[in-house]
Structure formats: structure tokens, C-alpha cells
Amino acid sequence: MYQLRMSISGLAFSEIKEYKRIAFKVVREDSFEILRFWKTSQLQGILILEGIYPWLGQGATDADSFLTAEWIKSALINIKLYNHNSCKTALLLGSNASLKSDIAGLIPTITQELPTVEEINDYLPQILPNSITLAQINEIANTCVGMYLADIETGVKTALAIDNSELVKKVSAYKIELLKRVYNVEFLQPMTIPVGGLELMQSAFKGYKHLLTPLAKSYNLRLPKGVLLIGPPGTGKSHSAKACSQILELPLVIVEWGHFRSYGNMAEYKLKKLLALVDRINRIIFYLDDFDKGFAGDDDLSRRLAGMLLTWMQERTSDVLIIASANNIQWLPPELTRSGRFDEIFKIDLPNNGERHSIFKIHLARFDKRFADGGDAFTPSEWQRLLKVTHRCVGAEIQAIVERAAVSIFCQSFGEQTPAPEDLPPLEITLTALLESRKNVNPLAIREADRIESMRNIADLQGLPSSPVDSSIYSLGDIDIFGS
């Protein structure tokens, strides 16, 4: 045990001779002998303890751990009662101040909040070179929102150690990597991605962008509390969230909601910390992927997490757009889907003929330059043939068909040959290759027809359409389940 003293030369550590550490610990309480010493010692000051919170929370399961936790709580209470009027304080440090209800009222909790953008603006001139302009400082400050000052200092100094160019980009990359490690989330900057179809939903997203303007705020207009995307797997729900990020020009935080259950007793703390981060970053899209899977068990933890999320959604004032995706909306608690929680519910269905045509062209353009920039290499009759055999295929399956066809053409064209880069011939994907590739893909909507139709029917009752009626030249009107 060491004491930090102030002297003429500055601060210095000195060992406390009165404290005799137990060399051979017989029982677990011996590890906390320091609490017994501090209670009776004549010393005054602040006792700093780290790593003690796990013993004060809800984690004790076996009898030995439970008794030790109770002993520690009693020791802390005795310190408070025994030294009520003395100049002695115990300071408990830890990343998770989780206290049981019987002791929470006796120990005040102080949480270190994330710094605001104004606080970051005031701090940055201390660590940035004088050549950085005020406008650049403001831009870097906005990029640093969501990090503590120590992390900001590390990120900025790491970027400056390389060079001063593209400082914002380098700090942003550091922040993204940090958030992935600390919060186990995927943090994406707005990206340029093509979207095949879903025009009605995209139109709604464009409307949300206007709600972020100061003019909308002057009329007390705000973003929806939440947007729920429902529909069968593979229809493009995650892609739609990325498209929203592109339209609104806002970063995207992707969270696997079902993973919170794996944290056990730490799940609520993890969620609380993540919600605080999202609130502080502000002007961000918070995407809850596979939202329904977090409620499949219908246990007490799921209900507590849902309650915490509902409270946050109801009380938050930040410009955070919450988007959640679900395959089975019936797994969600009814209170989650009412107006005021998720104000907008969109059904993302199996793509129609016109949408499948658009999706095919998007993926074909990745390999075959004839389809780039709106080009086309197939006749309408060839398209009709391809669209007919891919009825009930979703976007993910269309992507697989195109990629397999591209691999097949590549292997046929080159074999063992390795041409020089300047002599590379174009890769041309044929209709025959696509039709052959289709034979190797068994669409989920066909092999699990009953389950997928059940999802679609429920989504029809709950959600707004994401796509208008197919008005393309490939529209065939209503098609029954057998494609006749």
C-alpha cells in the first residue's frame, strides 16, 4: 500500500509502513484485508480501489463468491459508519459501476461522460500544431465525437506521427477501429451503393433528410422515433439501411441485437453504454440487425433489454435515426411496434420483375463492362427468359447467380493461361452462363415456401409497401406461387 504525498519537489509515492499485507491468503477475504485496515487506521485521505465492482454487482452465483461479496459490502458500509466525521474517503474505480440495490444508496456514483463537441473543440488546440486552421479543428472535433479525450489524444498523435495530410480521414479510421474493439459494433461512413427498386422507401428516406434541417426544427418537426424493415431473409434489409446512410449522408452503426443476450449479466450495461455513445455522436443511423432474434427466447433478459431500449427511444432528444430489421415481426413485443416507437414499418418483399432486372444489371456491371453506365447486352426477350427462371429469387440469390456465372466464364476463357495485364480481354457474361448458374441456386422462397409466405402475409398486414406496382416492360402482372 502506497501513499501519494505532496512535497516541495512535487508529488511522490511512499510506502505505508503500518499496513502489513497478508503473504499467505487462507480465505478470499484476505485479499481485501486493506478494507479492514482502512476502517481502523488513523490515516486520513482518499483510498483508491480498482476492480472491486464485480463483487458489488449481481454476478455472484456460487456460495463462496456470494459470502465474499457480502463481506466486502459489509466492510464498505462499516468504513462509512465508522469514519462518518473523519477525513477519510474510499474511491472505487471501474468501467462498470454496477451496484446491488441494498448498497447503491450508500455509495454515490459518478459517471465519466463522453466529451461534447464543444469540449473537444477547446481541447484540440492543445495537441494540434499551430498550422491547423479553426475550420479544420471544427471538422476534427466533429469526427472525434464518441471518444474520450485520452483516446482523442492517442488518435490525433498517431495520425500526426505519419503526416498532417488527410488528418480527418486518419482520425476517423482510428475512431472506427476503436469503436469496433470497444463496443463490438460495425461503424460505417456513408458509402455510394446502387439500389435496385424499393423506390417508395427511398423516397421516404429522402424526406427524412429534410427533417434534419434547421427549418424543420423551427416547425418542431423531427425524425421518426424508429423505422422497422420487415420481410423474408435476403430481400435487402441491411442494404436498405446502408442506402439510407447514403441518402441522409450520415454514418451508420450496425449492431447485432441478438448478440446482447450472449453478454448475460453484462447485457444491460453494454446496451446502456452503447445508447449513450449513439446519443453523444448524434446525427447518426443506429441499425439493429436481426432485431427479432433478440426476442426469440421470451425471457426476462429480453424484456429488460426491450424496456431499456423503449425508454431511450421515448426520452431521447438527439437526431438519431433508429432502423431495425426483422424477419418474424410476430416475435417482437407488441409495445415495440406501436406508433410512437417504430413510427414507420416498411415491408421489403421478394423483388418483382422490374426490380430483379435492375438488380441483375447492378451485379453484371461489376464484371461485364457492357452493363456499366446503364448499358445492356441482352435483348428484351432474353431478359424475359432470365427473369422467368429467377422468379422468387431475392437479391442475395441473384448476386450469387451472377458471381457464379462470372467465375464460369473466366475459367472457360483463360484456363491455365495468364495474359499480360495490358492484353486482358473483356469478360462477357452470357445468358447461357446465367441460366446454367441458376440451376445451382435453390431459392429460399421455393424450398421454404410455406414459411416465407407466412412472413410475407404478416408483413402485408403490418407494413407499408417499399416498392410501387411494377410498371416496367417486364411486368407480367400478378404471378401465382408456382410461376404460371
What torsion do the CA atoms of 289, 291, 297, 302 make, to the nearest 10 degrees? 110
Residue 125 DSSP one-character state: G
Residues 6+ apart with CB under 8 A from 463: 228, 230, 231, 345, 346, 347
CA distance 367 to 428: 8
Query: Using CB atoms within 10 A of its CB, is residue 71 exposed (0-12), middle (13-18) or buried (19+)?
Result: middle
CA distance 369 to 427: 8
Q: Are strands 284-289 and 320-326 parallel, antiparallel or unpaired?
A: parallel
Q: Which letter, b or e, does each residue of 77-113 get, where b requires 16 or more Cβ atoms within 10 Å of its Cβ? A: eebeeebeeeebebebeeeebbbeeeeeeeeeeeeee
- As assigned by CATH, the class of the 353-465 domain is mainly alpha
**Start-end of H helices in 31-147:** 33-40, 63-82, 101-104, 117-123, 134-144
Residues 6+ apart with CB under 8 A from 64: 28
CA distance 387 to 216: 43
Domain with CATH 3.40.50.300 in the chain: 201-341
Domain with CATH 1.10.8.60 in the chain: 353-465
Specify the CATH superfamily of domain 201-341. P-loop containing nucleotide triphosphate hydrolases (3.40.50.300)
Distances (CA, A) of 385 to 351, 392, 431, 469: 16, 14, 9, 21
Q: Which letter, b or e, does each residue of 450-483 get, where b requires 16 or more Cβ atoms within 10 Å of its Cβ? A: eebeebbebbeebbeebbeebeeebeeeeeeeee
Q: Which residue numbers in the chain have pLDDT < 70?
A: 22-31, 54, 57-62, 83-84, 96, 164, 296-298, 415, 477-484
For residue 357, the number of C-alpha atoms closer than 13 Å in the C-beta half-sphere is: 22
What torsion do the CA atoms of 97, 68, 35, 30 make, to the nearest 10 degrees? -130
Q: What is the pLDDT of residue 305?
A: 85
CA distance 459 to 451: 12
Distances (CA, A) of 333 to 125, 258, 451: 49, 15, 20
Q: What is the pLDDT of residue 313?
A: 86
CB atoms within 10 A of CB 311: 11
Q: What is the pLDDT of residue 483?
A: 47
Q: What is the pLDDT of residue 363?
A: 95
What are the grid coordinates assigned to 210, written together? 429534410
Q: What is the pLDDT of residue 22?
A: 67
CA distance 437 to 447: 17
In 3D, which of 364, 371, 347, 374 has the Cα closest to residue 463?
347
**Residue type for 188, please?**
L
CA distance 293 to 327: 9
Q: What is the pLDDT of residue 383?
A: 95
Distances (CA, A) of 189 to 48, 130, 164, 173, 180: 40, 28, 21, 10, 13
In 3D, which of 102, 141, 100 has the Cα closest to residue 265?
100
In 3D, which of 172, 179, 186 has the Cα closest to residue 142?
172
Ramachandran assignment for 298, one of left (phi > 0), alpha (psi -120 to 50 degrees), beta (any other): left
**355-359: long-range contacts at Cβ-Cβ below 8 A with a sequence spacing of 24 or more?**
355/196, 355/197, 355/198, 355/467, 355/470, 356/196, 356/387, 356/390, 356/393, 356/398, 357/383, 357/387, 357/472, 357/474, 358/196, 358/197, 359/196, 359/197, 359/395, 359/398, 359/399
Residue 426 DSSP one-character state: P
Percent of the chain exceeding pLDDT 70 equals 92
